[in-house]
Amino acid sequence: MNATPEIIQGGQYNIGHICTRMQCDRGLGDKVAMRWLGAHGERADYTFGDLERQSSRFANVVGDLGVAPGEVFFIFLPKMPEVFFAFLGGLKARAITGTLFANFGEEALLDRLGDAGCKAILTRQSYLKKFQRIRDKLPTLKHILLVDAEKDLAPDVLSYPRLMAAASERFETALTPPETPSVLHYTSGSTGKPKGALHHHRSVLHQSRTAAEVLDLKPDDRYWCTADQGWVTGTSYGIIGPWSLGVTQLHFGGAYDAEKWFRLLQDERVSVWYTAPTALRMLMREDPALFGRFDLSGVRHIFSVGEPLNPEVISWGRKVLGHDIYDTWWQTETGGILITNRPGLEIRPGSMGRPLPWIEAAIVADDGTVLPDGEHGNLCLKPGWDSMFISYFHHEDVYRQKFRHGWYLTGDTAYRDADGYYWFQGRSDDVINTSGHLVSPFEVESALLEVAGIAEAGVIGASDDLLWEKVVAFVALRPGAAWGPELELKARIHVSNRVSTVATPQEFRVLENIPKTKSGKIMRRVLKARYTGGSVGDVSTLDFQDGANKEQP
Ligand code: AMP
């Protein structure tokens, strides 16, 4: 319904093919597709021809290892050139290709690899020990490929350089119909384990179109997306959208560093920059003199995604950077931008913007009634855009629950103003958004219960000036256990190792008991009220009165 048909040639929807071979066929083989800038000053340029050859080699590797179309292959690496080759190569081979944040701990890995039935993974030697501890629980995992091993380490722990050197750089991508499953991203909910949002190759239509019509990418642009490839922004707009248009991307392997970032924007003449509110808020805290030292006249547009973009950030952008910052709203499940401020549309600071012309959004009450402008309710979308997820992998029942009264429920609450702008209010569930990462309180609580001395745990998100939300953990101790710096450190390290560094609680509170409903569900709303000093609301279903639940010093 909303295709950019010129990117589809002969019915070939394969994302890997479109981002590489098709660009070469368009005459862009010698154009730089990716300028790689490493954390320690390394630089390397890869043309579309290089991308085509490297991804084709990897597609052959995937096939030779016996990963069949429709089977799952994962990448577990920090940002590095191999991530891009393997991602595109996996898709060419029609493997379902997933990317994982390199900061995931072993439990987070086990949940995702186990649920997906992952057959092969690309990682590096320093992460091997995480796999060794969970390996026997992953019966489907047949091959671990290491980017940095010159030789195979075991029959199932293989050298990526060796495999790549032996593979042909020619690969004829089989005709891939639009409904063929493509990318898999796990996303956290407030209950249960994370779910894998599965996409299809058809999503390239929406990603390409929005890269052109929202990000306004032009053939000569130099585009920088700061997102990690473990997150959907890193694949939809850090790989697929821009390369489907033949646009040059910068990729930087270092962490946040204001000076390095501004040098990169200046020296690399970045023209379109896609980043996130936490990063922008960190920049706002820097000495304003820093910005004056750099010439950012090459920058044409700045976009943001992942968390609410505060109006103050927009006025800072105008004053200090001389630019509007366009907010974009979307989520793992939507596969691409749906509601947005964009060039040519008046920005209302604090609003996410308006839905794209081909997207129907509404604010809907729990009973399915579409609410009038100004009223708060569930942010819902009419299903049917090209990049919409096709299922939660292996959890069709949970997928179906996301649709009601003909609407897709995003899990966000919002309101719409009289001019059709949408204003984000929050989540309708307990998922925590900390610097753009969705963290499941359930996963953190489960990890905390494994710490000796902790009997119960309840985890909430509390508002934070920098991160939007921070992770706050309430714990109740076992008899005889005493809270102190040692136990707190143990708990932090444990969550970091088991779940991820971003999920590690910033703050702990100790209670005698964790408030629960009579059926044993943790009342996070009560914990939130306790944290903020707000009203607790109806507690008739609590298994004890909150007043009896004294906080310990
Ligand atoms: P994820 O699936 O990890 O990309 O997270 C998607 C969620 O992040 C959305 O459902 C929102 O709760 C939040 N989010 C993403 N973009 C925005 C935005 N521009 N403004 C407010 N919240 C956002």
One domain, residues 421 and 436:
no
**515 in the Ramachandran plot: left (φ > 0), alpha (ψ -120 to 50) or beta?**
beta
3-class secondary-structure state, position 442: helix
Question: Cα-flanking dihedrals φ and ψ of residue 44, to 5°?
Answer: -155, 140
Tell how far the Cα of 438 is from the centroid of ligand 1, in angstroms: 8
Degrees to nearest 5, angle at CA 341 with 244 and 321: 90
- The pLDDT of residue 366 is 95
The encoded tokens of residue 488 equal 């707190």
Rounded distance, CA 71 to CA 314, Å?
43
What are residue 249's DSSP bridge partners?
A: 34, 223
pTM score of the predicted model? 0.92
| 156-159 LR contacts (CB < 8 Å, sep 24+) | 157/128
One domain, residues 188 and 44:
yes
Tell how far the Cα of 330 is from the centroid of ligand 1, in angstroms: 6
Rounded distance, CA 12 to CA 176, Å?
6
What stretch of H or E contains 444?
A: helix 441-449
| Chain length of the chain | 553
3-state secondary structure 152-205: CCECCEEEHHHHHHHCCCCCCCCCCCCCCEEEEEEECCCCCCCEEEEEEHHHHH
Rounded distance, CA 59 to CA 65, Å?
10
One domain, residues 416 and 438:
no
Tell how far the Cα of 437 is from the centroid of ligand 1, in angstroms: 9
Tell how far the Cα of 332 is from the centroid of ligand 1, in angstroms: 8
For residue 469 and ligand 1, the question of a CB distance below 6 A is answered with no
For residue 352 and ligand 1, the question of a CB distance below 6 A is answered with yes
514 within a domain of the structure (yes/no): yes
112 within a domain of the structure (yes/no): yes
Q: What is the DSSP letter of 547?
A: G
49 within a domain of the structure (yes/no): yes
* pLDDT tens, N- to C-terminus, the chain (553 residues): 444 557 888 899 999 999 999 999 999 999 999 999 999 999 999 999 999 999 999 999 999 999 999 999 999 999 999 999 999 999 999 999 999 999 999 999 999 999 999 999 999 999 999 998 899 999 999 999 999 999 999 999 999 999 999 999 999 999 999 999 999 999 987 677 899 999 999 999 999 999 999 999 999 999 999 999 999 999 999 999 999 999 999 999 999 999 999 999 999 999 999 999 999 999 999 998 898 899 999 999 999 999 999 999 999 999 999 999 999 999 999 999 999 999 999 999 999 999 999 999 999 999 999 999 999 999 999 999 999 999 999 999 999 999 999 999 999 999 999 999 999 999 998 999 999 999 999 999 999 999 999 999 999 999 999 999 999 999 999 999 999 999 999 999 999 999 999 999 999 999 999 998 877 788 998 999 999 987 766 555 555 545 445 565 5
Rounded distance, CA 71 to CA 117, Å?
8
The amino acid that residue 64 corresponds to is: D
One domain, residues 375 and 467:
no
Determine which residue's CA is closest to atom 10 belonging to ligand 1: 331
Among candidate residues 183, 201, 219, the one where a domain is terminated: 201
Annotate 207-239 with DSSP letters as a single string: HHHHHHHTS---TT-EEEE---TTSHHHHIIII
Residue 346: CB atoms within 10 Å: 10
One domain, residues 50 and 191:
yes
138 within a domain of the structure (yes/no): yes
The encoded tokens of residue 113 equal 């690899």
Q: What is the DSSP letter of 551?
A: B
The encoded tokens of residue 341 equal 């401020």
One domain, residues 423 and 442:
no
152 within a domain of the structure (yes/no): yes
Residue position matching structure tokens 């019915």: 11
Among candidate residues 429, 457, 490, the one where a domain is terminated: 429
One domain, residues 387 and 421:
yes
For residue 308 and ligand 1, the question of a CB distance below 6 A is answered with yes
Determine which residue's CA is closest to atom 23 belonging to ligand 1: 307
For residue 332 and ligand 1, the question of a CB distance below 6 A is answered with yes
Question: What are the CA-CA distances from residue 486 to residues 22, 326, 480 (Å)?
Answer: 57, 44, 15
Q: Which atom of ligand 1 is nearest to the CA of 431?
A: 12
Annotate 362-410 with DSSP letters as a single string: EEE-TTSPBPPTT--EEEEE-S--TT---EETT-HHHHHHTEETTEEEE
Question: Cα-flanking dihedrals φ and ψ of residue 279, to 5°?
Answer: -65, -40
Q: How many CA atoms lie within 13 Å of 249's alpha carbon, on the beta-carbon side?
A: 27
CATH number of the domain bearing residue 390? 2.30.38.10
One domain, residues 410 and 436:
no
Rounded distance, CA 518 to CA 216, Å?
53
One domain, residues 499 and 423:
no
Longest dimension (CA), the chain: 73
Tell how far the Cα of 74 is from the centroid of ligand 1, in angstroms: 23
3-class secondary-structure state, position 321: helix
CATH number of the domain bearing residue 193? 3.40.50.12780
- The pLDDT of residue 550 is 57
Q: How many CA atoms lie within 13 Å of 28's alpha carbon, on the beta-carbon side?
A: 24
Domain range enclosing 399: 357-429
Determine which residue's CA is closest to atom 19 belonging to ligand 1: 329
Determine which residue's CA is closest to atom 3 belonging to ligand 1: 438
Tell how far the Cα of 426 is from the centroid of ligand 1, in angstroms: 9
The encoded tokens of residue 129 equal 């020990």
141 within a domain of the structure (yes/no): yes
- Closest by alpha carbon to 200, among 85, 320, 69? 69
For residue 433 and ligand 1, the question of a CB distance below 6 A is answered with yes
- Residues near 540 by beta carbon (within 8 Å), at least 6 away in sequence: none
Tell how far the Cα of 162 is from the centroid of ligand 1, in angstroms: 40
Ligand 1 pocket: which of 329, 354, 428, 443 to mutate (most atoms <8 Å of CB)? 329
For residue 275 and ligand 1, the question of a CB distance below 6 A is answered with no
Number of domains forming the structure of the chain: 3
- Closest by alpha carbon to 26, among 207, 210, 247, 183? 247
Rounded distance, CA 73 to CA 117, Å?
9
Pairing mode, strands 248-252 and 222-225: parallel
504 close to 496: Cβ distance less than 8 angstroms: yes
CATH number of the domain bearing residue 446? 3.30.300.30
One domain, residues 376 and 500:
no
Ligand 1 pocket: which of 183, 438, 468, 502 to mutate (most atoms <8 Å of CB)? 438
Among candidate residues 161, 185, 201, the one where a domain is terminated: 201
Ligand 1 pocket: which of 412, 413, 428, 435 to mutate (most atoms <8 Å of CB)? 412
- Closest by alpha carbon to 165, among 50, 36, 61? 61
One domain, residues 541 and 393:
no
Ligand 1 pocket: which of 280, 304, 307 to mutate (most atoms <8 Å of CB)? 307
Tell how far the Cα of 136 is from the centroid of ligand 1, in angstroms: 35
- The pLDDT of residue 534 is 79
- Is 136 exposed, middle or buried (CB count within 10 Å of its CB: 0-12, 13-18, 19+)? exposed
For residue 329 and ligand 1, the question of a CB distance below 6 A is answered with yes
For residue 167 and ligand 1, the question of a CB distance below 6 A is answered with no
336 close to 307: Cβ distance less than 8 angstroms: no
Rounded distance, CA 401 to CA 409, Å?
9
One domain, residues 187 and 95:
yes
Q: Which atom of ligand 1 is nearest to the CA of 328?
A: 19
For residue 300 and ligand 1, the question of a CB distance below 6 A is answered with no
- The pLDDT of residue 3 is 44
109 close to 130: Cβ distance less than 8 angstroms: yes
Residue position matching structure tokens 């340029």: 45
Question: What are the CA-CA distances from residue 239 to residues 16, 242, 398 (Å)?
Answer: 10, 6, 28
236 within a domain of the structure (yes/no): no
For residue 441 and ligand 1, the question of a CB distance below 6 A is answered with no
- Could you give the dihedral angle defined by the CA atoms of residues 135, 156, 81 and 54, in that order, rounded to the nearest 10 degrees? -150
465 within a domain of the structure (yes/no): yes
Determine which residue's CA is closest to atom 1 belonging to ligand 1: 331
526 close to 536: Cβ distance less than 8 angstroms: yes
Question: Cα-flanking dihedrals φ and ψ of residue 239, to 5°?
Answer: -140, -70
